[in-house]
Amino acid sequence: MKGKPRFLLCVCRGDCPGFAQLDIWKFMNYVRNELEVEYAITHPQMCVDDGDRFWKDYAKKDVVYIVAGCDPKMQRKMYKDALAEVGVDFDKQVFPIDLRNTPTEQAMQKIKDFVEKVNQQVAGI
Ligand code: SF4
């Protein structure tokens, strides 16, 4: 795989109660500055048509993605077909994590642990 994981945060348009406790920009600046990721970006709603177009335009075969958002099973259901169209295997290249109903400090600790775990797994440790 090429480089460190790319980090994406999906936030249900930004007005969903599930993300009301998350200070999105504090969280994103923490991820991009403090954690072992290539970079971090936010998308408002990756499970609708423009999310599919985004994945098809953006995803690469030799890259790993960490996606924070809703339930991992929901993410799989909603992203896997668009990714498969461009040769990206959700089960091998996407590491989803649920951050709904998580206050900012707790989300920062949770994502720190998760990014470390993903980097170890990708490196085969
Ligand atoms: S993919 Fe999940 S987190 Fe993102 S908008 Fe859809 S339901 Fe919300």
Reduce the secondary structure of the chain to three states and give it as a string.
Answer: CCCCCEEEEECHHHCCHHHCCCCHHHHHHHHHHHCCCCEEEEECCCCCHHHHHHHHHHCCCCCCEEEEECCHHHHHHHHHHHHHHCCCCHHHHEEEEECCCCCHHHHHHHHHHHHHHHHHHHHCC
CATH of segment(s) 6-123: 3.40.50
Distance of CA 82 to the CA centre of its chain: 15
CA of 10 to the centre of ligand 1 (A): 6
CA of 1 to the centre of ligand 1 (A): 26
Instruction: Give residue ranges with CB within 6 A of ligand 1.
Output: 10, 12, 45-47, 69-70, 74-75, 78
Residue 87's pLDDT is 98
CB 44 within 8 A of CB 11: yes
Q: What is the pLDDT of residues 36-77, one digit of tens each?
A: 999 999 999 999 999 999 999 999 999 999 999 999 999 999
Q: What is the pTM of this model?
A: 0.97
The phi and psi torsions of 10 (rounded to 5 degrees) equal -110, 130
Q: Whose CA is nearest to atom 2 of ligand 1?
A: 70
Q: Say if residue 83's pLDDT is above 70.
A: yes
CB 101 within 8 A of CB 18: yes
Q: Whose CA is nearest to atom 6 of ligand 1?
A: 47
Query: What's the pLDDT band for 125 if we cut at 50, 70, 90?
Result: low
Interatomic CA distance for residues 70 and 125, integer angstroms: 27
Q: What is the pLDDT of residues 90-117, one digit of tens each?
A: 999 999 999 999 999 999 999 999 999 9
Query: What's the pLDDT band for 2 if we cut at 50, 70, 90?
Result: confident
Q: Say if residue 1's pLDDT is above 90.
A: no
CA of 46 to the centre of ligand 1 (A): 6
CB 78 within 8 A of CB 54: no
